[in-house]
Amino acid sequence: MESDGDPAARAAAGTHPVHNLWRLRPYLRPYAAEFAWLLVAGLAGTAAGIAVPLVVQRVVDGPVARQEPAGLLQLGGLALLLGVVEAVLIFIRRWVQSSSAVGMEAALRADVYAHLQRLPTSFHDRWQSGQLLSRITSDLSVIRRFLSFGVFFLVLNLTTYVVVVVLLINLHTALGVLVAASAVPLLLISRRFGRHYHAASRRMQDQQGDVATLVEETAQGLRTMKAYGRGPELAARFAGGARRLHDTGVGKGRLLANTSALLDLVPNVTLGVVLVAGAAAAAGGALTIGELVAFVSLQLMLIWPVQSLGWIIANGQEAATAADRIQEVLDTPPRIVDSPGALALPRDAVHGRLRFERVAFSYPGAAAPVLHEIDLTIEPGETLALVGATGSGKSTLLSLVPRLHDVTAGRITLDGHDLRELRLASLRRLVGVAFEEPTLFSMSVRENLTLGHPDAGDDDVRAALALAQADFAYDLPWGLATRVGEQGLSLSGGQRQRLALARAVLGRPAVLVLDDPLSALDVHTEALVEAALRRVLRDSTALLVVHRPSTIALADRVALLQDGRITAIGRHSELLATRPAYRALLAAEPQTAAGESPAGHPPPSGATGSSPSASDGWGLVHS
């Protein structure tokens, strides 16, 4: 990711440093009229400011030289009026400028966020969340400042510089050309500064993303950190990242300070030369006193545009690197999208026949596929359990059903329709999903439950909570309106898992995809949830990843997944009797939940059979 920000790499690719910034111009178009009026107001204010030295010239060479008080008052009043006009125009400009700047930033942020939602989970697996967070917050703020203020002042200051230089040449050709020639060292200093500052800006913005990632990971893993007493190590790691960020920031500041000093030196040296040469010219009669005063006053007006040049270039380079980082996200194409003519299936028209036809899957950049030629059919209303060792591909197989990933070979059909021919919104309303690690958002219990079905009624919510044995939600301080906190960490693991299960079954989906949904439940609650879940599974096609033998009892059939291949399908008792690999997965202890030995024979005399609820002794391996 960071190689894209290398100026050398960009030059080799033929990409100009401001190329990606230029690509953001569509966000300026809605505010083109406002920007034009801002420019007019800015130029009018600058014109009023430029006119003041010319009025002073008339005052010095006219009323002052001729000692005419009346004329002095008139010209003084005109100068005061011009000053007031300039102040009013500056106020109007800044007022309008702020509103348009915030509007541009909001539109860009909304587009980046929406694009992030469209990108596949493989993208988010590769990217650090802190890097994405820094792009959608600090980087967009940098771009907003430049598009609203930097661009405006760049145009305004360049216009001011050109107009003033023309007036200076008109007042005195030689001195005016001298001032114009001072632009050459300014240009050389600016080019060198821009080249070095761009690289430093990219480095600092990437480091800000790294620090944001450290903070986020520490906040989310605070309990683990405290439990293992690893606070000092993580603090040292953070201090190292913060120190690198500090050093880069200091380097940027030193670079800007050195350049600002040089940019300030050139006009001041030029001003000193002009004062000496101008005084000599006035003494020789080539300039009047009023013209000399006007010349020096106009030249003083160039100091601010030149001094601000360093800030404008710095802001522009930061915006250019921020645009690079933003375009890295926007240029990533969403690979899982609706195909042309995609279908939207209503729930009532779906029977739920789910079929995997020679399905294979490889993660991007992986050397070997995770799944190989999966052939599997789940009939409407049937429940199939997936059993396999760690890394066999169970969770990956489940993720293909709601198209969190797309198959790399073969196809998956629902009632004969290839999943890729269905609209994503329709498919994901038909498929209910509960993951082994439940994710809850920092919102109310009800909002978490109705995430996929915002139109669900109170009766639907109550039924889902009852099925998942999650009635505890009504006893929370504010009932279903209680906010569960970030990641739902204010709740226990079992409570989070039950809410996630309730969310999955809300709306009675045609297909249920459950990745070990009961792993965090106690034995008693598990038995109650399983009893309620059986009623739901009668009306849905279900694909379950199970780690507990007791959960296998929910399934009509079991599929054994080994090294990404389905090696056996059948009833639990059949596989237990005929498949040693299946028995090995379940045989953490000599006795099974059914009171049978792993070979399927009765237990030895005197042995006590385990009930399904005593499944801890089975200990299926986690995937």
- For 364-385, the pLDDT digits (tens) are 878 888 999 999 999 998 999 9
532: CB partners within 8 A, 6+ apart:
466, 467, 468, 469
Q: Which residue has the higher pLDDT, 466 or 489?
A: 466
The pLDDT value given to residue 605: 34
Pairing of strands 354-361, 409-414: antiparallel
Place of tokens 């993303």: 209
Write out pLDDT tens, residues 233-252.
888 888 888 888 888 888 88
Helices (H), 417-457: 424-430, 445-449
* Residue 437 tokens, joined: 């690690």
pLDDT tens digit string along 571-583?
988 988 888 888 8
Helix (H, G, I), strand (E, B) or coil at 93: helix
DSSP letter at 301 equals T
Element (H, E) at 358: strand 354-361
Is residue 522 in a domain?
yes
417 in the same domain as 278: no
CA distances from 38 to 90, 164, 313 (A): 9, 20, 21
Q: What per-residue confidence (pLDDT) applies to 1?
A: 43
- Give the distance, in angstroms, between the CA of residue 372 and the centroid of all CA atoms in the same chain: 34
* Residues whose CB falls within 8 Å of the CB of residue 183, separated by 6 or more in sequence, listed in order: 161, 165
**CB-based contacts of 269: which residues, under 8 Å, 6+ apart?**
none
DSSP code string of 229-262: T-HHHHHHHHHHHHHHHHHHHHHHHHHHHHHHHH
- Residue 60 contacts by C-beta under 8 Å, 6 or more apart in sequence? 288, 289, 290, 293, 294
- 282 backbone dihedrals φ, ψ, rounded to 5°: -65, -40
- Give the residue, 419 or 44, on which the prediction is more confident: 419
Res. 19 pLDDT band, cuts 50 70 90: confident
Residue where one domain finishes, among candidates 330, 360, 378: 330
Which pLDDT does position 591 carry in this prediction?
40
Domain contains 543: yes
Average pLDDT over residues 566-574: 91
CA 278 – CA 292 distance, rounded (Å): 6
Query: Do residues 432 and 393 share a domain?
Result: yes
Q: Are residues 308 and 274 in the same domain?
A: yes
Region of poorest pLDDT, from 30-44, 528-542, 584-598: 584-598
Is a pLDDT exceeding 60 seen at residue 607?
Answer: no
Query: What burial class does residue 149 get, using C-beta atoms within 10 Å of its C-beta: 0-12 exposed, 13-18 middle, 19+ buried?
Result: middle
Say what the pLDDT of residue 568 is.
Answer: 92
Asked whether residue 70 is domain-assigned, the answer is yes
Using CA atoms, how far apart are residues 258 and 386, in angstroms rounded to an integer? Answer: 65
Read off the pLDDT of each residue in 478-495 and give the average, rounded to a whole number.
81
Residue 249 lies in a domain: no
Query: Are 287 and 373 found together in one domain?
Result: no
Per-residue model confidence (pLDDT) at position 599:
38
316 and 413 inside one domain: no
pLDDT score at 198? 81
CATH number, position 280: 1.20.1560.10
Q: Residues 210-215: what's their mean pLDDT?
A: 82
- 86 and 26 in a single domain? The answer is yes
**515: confidence class by pLDDT, cuts 50, 70, 90:** confident
Other beta carbons within 10 Å of 500 = 26
Give the model's pLDDT for residue 617.
30
The model's confidence at residue 529, banded by pLDDT at 50, 70 and 90, is: confident
128, 230, 449 from 235: Cα distances, Å: 19, 9, 37
| 99-116 pLDDT tens trace | 677 788 888 889 999 998
One domain, residues 84 and 188: yes
| Separation of alpha carbons 602 and 609, rounded Å | 9
DSSP for 470-511 reads -GGGGGSTTGGG-B--GGGTTS-HHHHHHHHHHHHHTT--SE
The burial class, CB within 10 Å (0-12 / 13-18 / 19+), for 8 is exposed
Range of the domain at 287: 20-210+254-330
Rg (CA), the chain: 36
What confidence score (pLDDT) does residue 212 get?
A: 82
Is the confidence at residue 621, as pLDDT, over 70?
no
Q: State whether 316 and 411 are in the same domain.
A: no
Q: How confident is the model at residue 400, as a pLDDT? A: 94
| Domain's final residue, options 330, 363, 395 | 330
Mean pLDDT of 89-101: 69
Mean pLDDT of the residues in the chain: 80
Residue 446's pLDDT is 92
pLDDT > 90? residue 415: yes
Share of the chain above pLDDT 70, in %: 85
Does residue 575 lie within any of the structural domains?
A: yes
Q: What is the pLDDT of residues 44-72, one digit of tens each?
A: 777 877 777 777 777 776 666 566 665 55
pLDDT band at 561 (very low <50, low <70, confident <90, very high): very high
Relative orientation angle of helices 231-283 and 303-330, to the nearest 10 degrees: 140
Residues 138 and 196 in one domain: yes
Q: Which residues have C-beta within 8 Å of that of residue 431, sequence separation ≥ 6?
A: 401, 402, 509, 510, 511, 512, 513
Residues 190 and 46 grouped into a single domain: yes
* pTM of this structure: 0.72
Tell me, yes or no, whether 498 lies in a domain. no
**Do 285 and 376 sit in the same domain of this protein?**
no
Report the alpha-carbon angle 371-373-374, nearest 5: 75
Does position 405 have pLDDT exceeding 80, yes or no?
yes
Q: What is the pLDDT of residue 65?
A: 59
Residues 322 and 361 in one domain: no
Which of 197-206, 486-495, 610-619 has the weakest average pLDDT?
610-619
Q: Is residue 123 part of a domain?
A: yes
Q: Is residue 497 part of a domain?
A: no
What local confidence, expressed as pLDDT, does residue 4 receive? Answer: 42
Number of domains into which the chain is organized:
2
290-335 pLDDT, tens digit per residue, is 888 888 888 888 888 887 888 888 888 888 888 888 998 999 988 8
For position 78, what pLDDT does the model report? 67
Q: What CATH code is carried by the domain that includes residue 608?
A: 3.40.50.300
What are the helix (H) ranges across 364-492?
A: 394-399, 424-430, 445-449, 458-467
Domain end call among 269, 299, 330? 330
Distance CA 447, CA 435 (A): 18
